[in-house]
């Protein structure tokens, strides 16, 4: 570059710098700075009034209203959010996101906040329960518990002290958050003011987890008439001690009142770390050793305890549900919570099928309470009317034939007791034939025909209604009937189940637990033990530090069901029967304004460009995919992008696609695959243990030919067999018997 070009470039940059310093843009021009004789066309000052500027963009009426507001003062036209009150509080909802939702969307929204375990309970678990166990042994037992849970997908009853501590350390946090989430939804659906159960029963493996969650929801002033907790298991003494310790940290369990402890007492409690004598603790909740039989409860909470062994499905579920439903009082609620896997979902679906019997009402729409015959005091008479094929002449003819047969039998046997007795002892009058009790004035004589024809015996006074999560009473579209179908490999069918998730905050004791070498490893589903193969150096790095990049929150999945028992008065029973008769005669669709019929979102919404796909369980009993495009409306499109898994959708849709459920033919094929896979698995196990059966009779082998082939192949591959073959002229491996 020549010197002249360099000089010109420097001059231009200097001139540009002078222009930038001395002149500003029109909207930010300062009167202190004046041009020093420089006039440029691109630098202009704004000399138009506000009205002249606004009239190019607004109408004349809007310009006048704006100018009038400006004259009144700046406080009259300040920008104010349409979602807040004058004092700045939200008109509806708990945050800015909920304030912008439609009222129906907000009503169908479940709680998506992060659940936190109360600090007093978390400190008690860490200082007074888990501190009594060696950390290394506790982590080993938690690892084995997670492995068994991954394999069987069913929680087991803890028996020893170490098992109870491992259960509390590894499972209590998720169980508590799931039960609290479901109870919160029940309270929201029933109403905050109307939800006040007076008799409560909790059933589960943990330390009265349902009662702990219910106490936190109802508040410190809630003192019901009766609170019972049945901890499932024969050896439940250790878990009952821990339940006492945890429940004692809640105010409404204290008999001394709701007074807060002093600062001195709080300091002493914080300093103490060690075991607590549970015998000296008194709480309001009664910890039972067995299931009650004669009592009735307004609220029954059953969590993770309906199925003990998978091979007992569904008999175990049916037997326990019959016992539990006998304890549910009229207008009471039953809450079922299971783990969010295939076994937990099928357990919930089986309990639902047992209670409402959807196969008996295949075409009924809506959520009309279903009769539960097993728990009803009156049983239906299946033979109320005579068969229409039999007329009165046939009945009279049958009576005559029976009379003739009786007369012939009496003649053949020579039985005529009445005449013989009259001849010996004389005839009896009506006074002598009366019983002694008939002379009593309090003795009532009932008419046999009237008692038999009493209509009260034919009425069913036990009706159940599903509140959540199902928006219908038809057959569950995702239910397969047996958890075994989900374990069949190598098939092209996609088997889904209904489950929901909840995020919870990790307390300190869970973070300390996950600092172990094995628990800090990310879960490996492909490995047998869930840990996989890691080098010693990697395990050494993980020890004492926890999972790298781990968060202070964790999420868990669960399946649940909320059922309500209807009132058993004559008026309510007649109303239910009238609704069913009207529903059978009228095929009109269900009402869209009723929250009980709103579809439930069962998959995470797919947010696309200018469109949202919602997978819902509809009120017709189908799994459908709904399209919510932006053209449907601003509010519907906005709400569709804000809803989450588990919410109810009350707004409209543009298009829908129905997913076909698994047919009976597909189930029969899956049964064949399951049997084939089971036989293959047995053969593989037989190959692993065939050494143990050498020398046993052939009847002990499932397949004698297979065992012989296996033994022959093992013998041929042995070193002694090959060494003996070298001494021969012919190689045994190449010899074909010629």
For the ranges 61-75, 452-466, 581-595, 663-677, the lowest mean pLDDT is seen at 61-75
- Checking if the pLDDT of 338 tops 90, the result is yes
**Do 212 and 250 form a contact (C-beta atoms < 8 A)?**
yes
Is 704 or 319 the better-scoring residue by pLDDT?
319
pLDDT (0 to 100) of residue 34: 47
Tens of pLDDT, residue by residue over 461-518, are 899 999 999 999 999 999 988 888 888 876 767 788 999 999 999 998 988 887 766 6
Q: What's the pLDDT band for 272 if we cut at 50, 70, 90?
A: confident
Task: Locate all alpha helices (DSSP H) within 225-336, ordered by sequence.
Answer: 237-247, 263-271, 315-325
Task: Output the DSSP codes for 500-546.
Answer: EEEEEE--HHHHHHTTSTTTTSPP-TTSSSSS----HHHHHHHTTT-
Nearest to 592, CA basis, from 651, 533, 547, 544: 651
Question: CA 119, CA 593: separation in Å to the nearest integer?
Answer: 41
Eight-class DSSP state of 689: S
Our CA dihedral for 682, 683, 684, 688, rounded to 10 degrees, sits at: 100
The Cβ of residue 81 has, within 10 Å, a number of other Cβ atoms equal to: 12
Phi, psi torsion values for 593, nearest 5 degrees: -85, -10
Distance CA 210, CA 201 (A): 9
Output the pLDDT for position 697.
Answer: 46
Query: Region 65-92: what's the mean pLDDT?
Result: 69
How much of the chain exceeds pLDDT 90, in percent?
Answer: 40
Closest by alpha carbon to 583, among 389, 369, 368, 372?
368
Range scoring the smallest mean pLDDT among 243-252, 312-321, 526-535, 712-721? 526-535
Choice among 493-507, 562-576, 681-695, 704-718 with the minimum mean pLDDT:
681-695
Q: Identify the pLDDT of residue 362.
A: 87
pLDDT band at residue 648 under the 50/70/90 scheme: very high
Matching residue, tokens 């797919």: 606
- Give start and end residues of each alpha helix (H) in 328-431: 342-356, 392-413, 417-425
Q: Taking the CA atoms of 726, 730, 735 and 737 in sequence, report the sign of the dihedral they define.
A: negative
**Across residues 255-261, what is the average pLDDT?**
55
Running DSSP on this structure, what letter comes out for residue 114? Answer: P
Classify residue 108 as exposed, middle or buried by CB count within 10 Å of its CB (0-12, 13-18, 19+).
buried
Query: Does the pLDDT of residue 119 top 70, yes or no?
Result: yes
- Mean pLDDT for the chain? 79
Q: Return d(Cα 283, Cα 654) in angstroms, integer.
A: 55
Half-sphere exposure of 365 (CA within 13 A, CB side): 17
pTM for the full predicted model: 0.72
Residue 36: pLDDT over 90: no
Please report the pLDDT score of residue 76 as a whole number: 47
Instruction: Return all residues near 130 (Cβ < 8 A) that are at least 6 apart.
Output: 138, 165, 168, 169, 509
pLDDT: which is higher, 671 or 239: 239
**DSSP-assigned letter for residue 27:** G
Tokens of 302: 């059953």
Residue 693: is its pLDDT beyond 70? no
- What are 513-540's pLDDT values in tens digits? 877 666 766 666 555 555 655 666 666 6
pLDDT above 70 (res 73): no
pLDDT reading at 143 higher than 50: yes
DSSP-derived secondary structure for 29-95:
--TT---SS---TT-------HHHHHTTTS-HHHHHHHHHHHHH-GGGG----TTB-TTS-BSSSSS
Percent helix, percent strand, percent coil in the chain, to nearest 5: 45, 10, 45
Integer Cα distance of 214 and 562 in angstroms: 15
**pLDDT for the residue 587:** 62
User: 201 φ, ψ to 5°?
Assistant: -130, 130
Look up residue 184 and give its two tokens: 């919160």
For residue 441, what are the contacts with CB-CB under 8 A and spacing of at least 6? none
pLDDT for res 704 = 52
List the single range of 27-41, 185-199, 481-495 with lowest mean pLDDT. Answer: 27-41
Helix crossing, 209-218 with 172-190: angle to 10°? 50
Residue range 70-74: average pLDDT?
52
- 592: nearest Cα among 670, 650, 528: 650
């Amino acid at each position: 570059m020549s010197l002249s070009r360099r000089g010109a470039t420097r001059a231009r940059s200097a001139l540009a710098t002078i222009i930038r310093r001395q002149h500003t843009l029109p909207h930010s021009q300062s009167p202190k700075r004046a041009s020093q004789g420089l006039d440029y066309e691109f630098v202009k000052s704004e000399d138009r009034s506000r009205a002249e500027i606004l009239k190019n963009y607004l109408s004349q009426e809007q310009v006048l209203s704006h100018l009038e507001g400006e004259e009144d003062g700046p406080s009259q036209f300040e920008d104010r959010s349409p979602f807040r009150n004058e004092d700045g509080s939200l008109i509806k909802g708990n945050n800015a996101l909920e304030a912008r939702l439609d009222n129906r969307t907000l009503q169908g929204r479940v709680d998506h906040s992060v659940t936190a375990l109360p600090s007093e309970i978390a400190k008690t678990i860490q200082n007074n329960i888990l501190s009594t166990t060696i950390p290394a042994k506790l982590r080993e037992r938690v690892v084995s518990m997670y492995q068994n849970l991954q394999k069987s997908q069913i929680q087991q009853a803890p028996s020893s002290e170490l098992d109870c501590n491992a259960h509390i350390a590894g499972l209590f946090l998720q169980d508590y958050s799931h039960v609290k989430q479901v109870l919160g939804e029940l309270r929201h659906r029933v109403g905050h003011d109307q939800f006040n159960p007076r008799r409560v029963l909790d059933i589960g493996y943990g330390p009265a987890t349902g009662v702990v969650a219910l106490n936190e929801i109802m508040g410190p002033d809630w003192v019901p008439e009766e609170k019972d907790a049945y901890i499932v298991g024969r050896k439940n003494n250790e878990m009952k001690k821990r339940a006492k310790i945890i429940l004692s940290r809640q105010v409404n369990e204290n008999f001394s009142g709701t007074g807060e402890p002093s600062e001195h007492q709080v300091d002493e409690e914080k300093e103490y770390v060690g075991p607590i004598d549970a015998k000296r603790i008194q709480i309001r909740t009664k910890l039972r050793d067995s299931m009650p039989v004669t009592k009735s409860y307004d609220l029954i909470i059953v969590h993770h305890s309906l199925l003990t062994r998978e091979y007992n499905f569904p008999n175990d579920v049916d037997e326990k549900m019959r016992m539990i439903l006998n304890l549910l009082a009229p207008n009471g609620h039953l809450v079922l919570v299971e783990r969010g896997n295939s076994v937990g979902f099928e357990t919930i679906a089986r309990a639902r099928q047992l209670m409402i019997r959807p196969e008996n009402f295949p075409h009924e729409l809506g959520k009309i309470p279903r009769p539960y015959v097993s728990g009803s005091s009156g049983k239906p008479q299946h033979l109320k009317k005579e068969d229409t094929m039999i007329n009165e002449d046939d009945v009279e003819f049958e009576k005559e034939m029976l009379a003739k047969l009786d007369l012939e039998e009496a003649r053949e046997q020579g039985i005529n007791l009445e005449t013989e007795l009259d001849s010996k002892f004389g005839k009896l009058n009506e006074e002598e034939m009366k019983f002694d009790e008939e002379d009593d004035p309090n003795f009532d004589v009932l008419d046999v025909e009237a008692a038999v024809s009493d209509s009260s015996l034919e009425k069913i006074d036990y009706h159940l209604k599903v509140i959540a999560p199902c928006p219908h009473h038809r057959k569950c579209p995702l239910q397969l009937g047996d958890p075994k179908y989900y374990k069949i490999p190598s098939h092209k069918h996609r088997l889904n189940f209904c489950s929901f998730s909840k995020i919870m905050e990790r307390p300190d004791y869970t973070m300390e637990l996950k600092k172990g070498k094995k628990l800090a490893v990310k879960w490996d589903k492909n490995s047998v033990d869930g840990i996989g193969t890691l080098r010693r150096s990697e395990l050494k790095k993980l020890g004492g530090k926890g999972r790298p990049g781990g968060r202070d929150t964790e999420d868990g999945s669960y399946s649940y069901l909320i059922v309500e028992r209807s009132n058993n008065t004559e008026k309510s029973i007649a109303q239910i029967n009238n609704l069913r008769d009207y529903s059978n005669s009228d095929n009109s669709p269900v009402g869209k304004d009723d929250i009980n019929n709103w579809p439930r979102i069962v998959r995470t919404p797919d947010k696309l460009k200018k469109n949202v796909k919602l997978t819902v369980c509809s009120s017709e009993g189908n799994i459908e995919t709904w399209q919510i495009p932006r053209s449907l409306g601003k509010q519907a499109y906005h709400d569709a992008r804000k809803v989450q898994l588990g919410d109810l959708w009350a707004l409209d849709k543009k298009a829908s696609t129905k997913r076909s459920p698994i047919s009976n033919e597909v189930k029969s094929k899956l049964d064949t695959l399951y049997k084939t896979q089971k036989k293959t698995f047995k053969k593989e196990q037989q190959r692993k243990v065939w050494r143990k059966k050498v020398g046993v009779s052939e009847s002990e082998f499932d397949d004698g030919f297979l065992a012989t082939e296996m033994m022959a192949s093992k013998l041929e591959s042995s070193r002694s067999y090959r060494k003996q073959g070298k001494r021969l002229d012919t190689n045994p491996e190449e010899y074909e018997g010629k």
